[in-house]
Amino acid sequence: MCGRRRECAMTGPEGGLAARARAWRDADPDPETRAELDRLLGSADTEALASRFEGSLSFGTAGIRAEMGAGPMRMNRLVAGRVAAGLARYIAYIAASEQPGAVAGVVIGYDGRLNSRVFATDAARILSRAGIPVWLLPSALPTPVLAFAVRHLGAAYGVMVTASHNPRRDNGIKVYVRDGGQLLPPVDADIAAAIDAVDPMALPAGWAEGPFDFTPADDAVHAYVAAVAAGQGPAADGARTARRAGLKVVHTALHGVGDATLRAVLAAAGWPAPVPVAAQRLPDPGFPTVPYPNPEAPGVLDLARETAEREGADLVLANDPDADRLAVMVPGSGGWRMLTGDELGALLGDAVVGRLTGGGYPVDLRGRPPVVATTVVSGSLLRRLADAASVQCVTTLTGFKWIARAGGDDPLVFGYEQALGYAVRPDLVADKDGISAALLALGLAAELAAQGRTLSDRLDDLAMTHGVHVTRERSLRADGAAGLARLTRAVERVRKEPPSLLAGQPVTVTDLLKESAGVVDLAGGTAERAPGRPIPPADVLIWHAGHDARVMIRPSGTEPVIKLYAEAVRPVRSRADLAAARAAAGEHALAMLAEAAAALEPDGT
């Protein structure tokens, strides 16, 4: 996974730390990171140097991501160049093996973070000079545009320079493959091995400067906008629908790259422009109005809320900085609130399933059975919606590398995970896409508003039919390697000796680390084998507390963090009972989280 330490040739005895730092400085083309090393060397800050030079960043299915700075444990031009040179080696190896399409080219994109354009240009230069055809997106753009471009251009690979919604000092590189999806094992390990074989201080001569051959990929951007706009379903006349409904929408890009692309899509689809959160509209790598550019973080959407209140808006759409995620805020009796990822996932999934059964789905499936997908730590309402419509629902591991491929040979029509990731047009983008998701959410809100109803009303409808589904999350954190070891021991302890009761209910356990490949858990406590779509064992424990309540335990594995997810489901007899049922389910979910956290308290050894 991103950021993990890996043994490398540059790691040596303590006495060689300064020498390694000087060698890195001398090879580094970036004056800022050279100056950083000069300062650290001048102050003899051994701890800071060790944090940069003891090990190197590891490349995995999520690519590589870390804080920017000097040294092999930070993101910088030498590390980005190493990734590009390693990918070039891997492509050359595949080409030598005479595998079809191995040299079909690489399309490269970047977001608006500090140094993203520089890293992307360096990667393009290295790949191009290695004889690999390169397309380059024309400006800082959303990650889903890059994922779309891989398919649209027929490229073999895509490279996206982004750290998504990570802290402002981070940056990273993601790699996509021919189907437009993220890497899967074992390709990630093969590319990682090729990267590890590259000495970042011995990159090809002239790699950091000078012209290189590439093909502009402007057409892919226009094609993305047109394709997403054309697929909005029954609300084809978005402008008329919105005006008839009197719908007023606020959008924030959170200082990222989503604003221009979303506006282009809305304009192409005939929708009025949203009201921007002006201070967050344009890309700004400093993210000056938020402490942490993640829509899920407390306080991050405060400016969007204030703008919505001032403008008298009906809906807030919020993209994360690379616009692959979407958050939605709605007004209510208690003020504005953000829908949970599971609530929005259910609403969008319901809209897609409804358009499948109502004949409004924008893609001809040619008689093949549609599939929707979610993850083992997401809520179970999507499955109930799908079952009611006789649509197959697949539950898979966390991450869109699994979700996007959950359909196998059948067409995936919708996929989501609770962390605000939604694939509403997986035929276009085999990854999460906050732009197309925003268009679908807007269309659904407008259709409901034209009937005098809201997204919250639709959630109530779903609760009346399928029960109230409430999900909550919690993270357990510790410090450093010792903290990671303590949390790991805690998970192994409860794996061997799980609690007998959770919130007063008997516990049954599903352990995805011990199940055979291809077996995933469903909400009801049973297991499903997914033939033809094998997934590896995963370090996920699921404690089922009765029929309609569960806790999922997922250790990070690379960081001292354990993530806990809880879901409680309550039946509802009347709309008058909805508030009480939601409150009871919420209390139940929080009680399960508290008991699970107590069971996982580190043993202190």
Angle, alpha carbons 326-558-496 (nearest 5°): 105
Catalytic residue, from 56, 58, 164, 378: name it.
Answer: 164
Asked if 143 contacts 322 with a C-beta cutoff of 8 angstroms, the reply is yes
How many other CB atoms are found less than 10 A from the CB of residue 110? 29
Strand order from edge to edge, sheet including 106-110: 64-67, 170-177, 157-161, 106-110, 134-136, 215-216
Active site residue 378: no
**CA gap 377, 487 in Å, rounded:** 19
CA-nearest of 176, 77, 91, 186 to 133 is: 91
Determine which helix (DSSP H) or strand (DSSP E) holds 263, and give its type and residue range.
helix 258-268
Structure tokens at 186: 């074992």
- Amino acid type, 13: P
Render the burial of 526-547: b for 16+ CB within 10 Å, e for the rest: eeeebeebebeebbbbbbbbbe
User: What phi and psi, each to the nearest 5 degrees, are found at residue 476?
Assistant: -105, 125
CA-nearest of 275, 379, 363 to 318 is: 275
How many other CB atoms are found less than 10 A from the CB of residue 465? 11
Which whole-number Å values give the CA distances from 578 to 441, 462, 504, 550, 585, in the listed order? 23, 11, 23, 21, 10
Burial class (CB in 10 A: 0-12, 13-18, 19+), 515: middle
Q: Which amino acids are annotated catalytic?
A: 164
